[in-house]
Structure 1
Amino acid sequence: MIVQLRICVPGDLSGVVVERCADHLGVAEIAVDKGASVMPPGDVVQVLLARESVETLMEKLQVLDIQKRGSISVNLPDLVLSDRADRAEAEAPGEGADAVIWEEVSRQSGEDSRLTWSFLAFLVLATQLAAIGIVTDSTIAIVGAMAVGPEFGPLAALAVALVRRERRLGRDAALALGVGFPVAMLAAALTAWLSVPLGLFPKDALDHGSAVEFIYHPGPYSLIVAVLAGTAGMLSVISRRSAALIGVFISVTTVPAAGFVAVALVLGEYQKAAGSALQLFLNLVGIVVSGVGVLLFYRVVAKRRPPEATLRRKSAGTRR
């Protein structure tokens, strides 16, 4: 997998940037546009390199404070036809699909973790769907609520914040979850409270819902499923596989549990409300813990890779 870096840098740093890129294992091409940057004034350096080499090159460039004096953008070309790019991928250590670009993961999880009107709206709508599925004993509605729920973004951001010690990211994620779930549950409780006198569902609706018993009966598999889903979700974030992430949404019982708590409290089913609250807690904790575990594993693997000088000598020996 080939990645393109676009580096906007002042003219006095352009030569140093090119030198560090040219000496980096896994770089296929370097192009310099002198004076192409108007704001800030300077040069634009474009680099094609293997994805598994991006993180180490970013570390080299960050020492130059390019973020303060210019910028670095990362793009994924749809198609690159180049023998040099193929050789760069072969020389770079590891596999592109397994490579972690930490800044990319932080930015992606950060964008999905903020308390925005759209996040709040999706969470409220998902909880409403879950509440309807609960009182009507509709598995389809509950699965739909799982798919609509946006809660995995803040949970993934919490995992990233814990591993990278990014307080701001963790604070934003905690705020989104801490405000979003209570607001969504309050809205679901209000809807349920208004629906009972209107005759939309009976007061004993929870006594006949065999399809939703798993929501308020947490057990060992509740935590196991949450851990597996959190692992798959974090892997999908790292490898940018959105299809796998959709499967994660459908496998966890966060939004249905929140909806069940709201409905059960309105109907006076306090024991079932407590069970579904425990289900919600287990799912949230399991997802975050497994996400932290995945990120720590990738960090350990990255640290155990041989130094770049050793890899370069091996690559040179292979060519000869």
Structure 2
Amino acid sequence: MLHLRLAVPASIREEVERFLVEDPRVTNVTVLPGASRDPAGDAMSCDVAREAASDVLARLRALGLDDGGTVAIQEVAASPSQAARDAERAAPGSPDDGVVWDLVTDTAYDQVRPSWTYYAFLTLATLIAGVAVVLDSPILVVGAMVVGPEFAVVAALALGVVLREGRLVWGSVRLLVQGFVAAIAITAVCGLLAAAIGWVDASSLTRPRPLTGFIWKPDHWSVTVALLAGVAGTLSLTAGRTNALVGVFISVTTVPAAGNLALALALWVPAEMAGASAQLAVNLAGMVLAGAVTLLVQRVLWRRAGLRIHVAGRGQVTRR
């Protein structure tokens, strides 16, 4: 279930209240007349089945809630009541399959806002990846993958492409480019310092690296993993299964490739510069492509599932 908190203008209060009360997918409807001060109007709240939330929000917008009103969405950890179970049964599909497009879009815009935290985590991840390359350590490679924060931005880019949101696409591309450029530059400087004091040299990269050599050698498996990771990551975000993202982070070599590229630049190993750059590009492009296709498929499936529901009365539902 999702909890909706509304500030409803006086001009549409009756229509909104009637809709919420009569929709069988909605329960726990509370109305506080005149309680909202900014914006002015009634304060309303309700719980809605997750798989019906996008449709309910679209209907609220159609009633005019965007014109002077507001809505806030919260996840409900548990709702052990018969009313909540009835609302779930009235909604089509499974809660795990429900995509709340308003929630996904709002979260995507949050992810593409530049922050020092994002740059710090991406830089730290790239530095760890650089050490992993020198030590030929797969454990440190995994650590770098987990620390890297870039997938949320990649998912936002895929969403922007699907929804044709130019501002979201541009914000995602800008943050990805600026983030990786900054992380690679800082790591390269650290590599130069390490070379100056004798910790590393060109042979640190050119010697056999059986455990981490794949980082700068993209092949058909790199494309395959990037596509699979893009699908898995997008599904985990849209379904609210963020715990699955850890597996996605571990499966793609974006940050390790960036670390390898930074060291190759610092120690001037042209062959690995090209390979690591290609690996980074393959992973980013593959995840964006797979994420966009996944989002398109989800939109088509939910439209065909009949998410647009006409409510004829409490307990009586007809699909369009």
Contact in 2 for aligned 1:25/1:312 (Cα 8 Å): no
Partner in structure 2 of residue 71 of structure 1: 70
Contact in 1 for aligned 2:12/2:64 (Cα 8 Å): no
**1:210 equivalenced with 2:210 (yes/no):** yes
Q: Cα deviations across residues 152-172 of structure 1 (Å, max 9, x unaligned)?
A: 111000001011111111111
Partner in structure 2 of residue 10 of structure 1: 9
Superposition deviation, residue 273 in structure 1: 1.4
Partner in structure 1 of residue 102 of structure 2: 103
Q: Which runs of 5 or more residues in structure 2 are unaligned?
A: none
Partner in structure 1 of residue 300 of structure 2: 300
Partner in structure 1 of residue 188 of structure 2: 189
Contact in 2 for aligned 1:129/1:145 (Cα 8 Å): yes
Q: Cα deviations across residues 56-113 of structure 1 (Å, max 9, x unaligned)?
A: 1111111234234121111122221321221111121111110111111111122122
Contact in 2 for aligned 1:25/1:308 (Cα 8 Å): no
Superposition deviation, residue 127 in structure 1: 0.6
3-state secondary structure, aligned to 1:240: coil
TM-score normalised to structure 2 length: 0.93
Matches within 5 A, 1:226-305: 226-305=226-305
Superposition deviation, residue 118 in structure 1: 1.0
Distance in 2, Cα, partners of 1:7 & 1:39: 11
3-state secondary structure, aligned to 1:37: strand
Q: Cα deviations across residues 192-248 of structure 1 (Å, max 9, x unaligned)?
A: 111112011233011132211101111000010011111111111011122110111
Contact in 2 for aligned 1:152/1:249 (Cα 8 Å): yes
Superposition deviation, residue 316 in structure 1: 4.7
Superposition deviation, residue 114 in structure 1: 2.1
Q: Cα deviations across residues 288-309 of structure 1 (Å, max 9, x unaligned)?
A: 0111011101100111123524
Q: CA RMSD in A?
A: 1.9
Superposition deviation, residue 20 in structure 1: 2.1
Q: Cα deviations across residues 12-52 of structure 1 (Å, max 9, x unaligned)?
A: 22111112223434122322111111222211111222111
Structure 1 stretches of 4+ moved >6 Å: none
Q: Cα deviations across residues 257-300 of structure 1 (Å, max 9, x unaligned)?
A: 01111111222221121111111111000110111011101100
Partner in structure 2 of residue 51 of structure 1: 50
Contact in 2 for aligned 1:26/1:88 (Cα 8 Å): yes
Distance in 2, Cα, partners of 1:200 & 1:137: 15
Higher alpha-carbon deviation: 37-46 or 120-129: 37-46
Contact in 1 for aligned 2:158/2:288 (Cα 8 Å): yes
TM-score normalised to structure 1 length: 0.93
Distance in 1, Cα, partners of 2:127 & 2:82: 54
3-state secondary structure, aligned to 1:67: coil
Q: Which runs of 5 or more residues in structure 1 are unaligned?
A: none
Q: Cα deviations across residues 96-138 of structure 1 (Å, max 9, x unaligned)?
A: 1101111111111221222211111111111111111111212
Distance in 2, Cα, partners of 1:243 & 1:29: 29
Distance in 2, Cα, partners of 1:160 & 1:114: 15
3-state secondary structure, aligned to 2:229: helix
Read off the aligned partner of 1:268 and give its amino acid letter. Answer: W
Contact in 2 for aligned 1:161/1:169 (Cα 8 Å): yes
Contact in 2 for aligned 1:115/1:175 (Cα 8 Å): no
Read off the aligned partner of 1:286 and give its amino acid letter. Answer: G
Partner in structure 2 of residue 88 of structure 1: 87
Alpha carbons of structure 1 residues 11 and 312: separation in structure 2 relative to 1, 3 Å: closer
Distance in 2, Cα, partners of 1:50 & 1:22: 14
3-state secondary structure, aligned to 1:210: coil
Alpha carbons of structure 1 residues 316 and 42: separation in structure 2 relative to 1, 3 Å: closer
Partner in structure 2 of residue 115 of structure 1: 114
Q: How many residues align?
A: 315
Superposition deviation, residue 312 in structure 1: 6.9
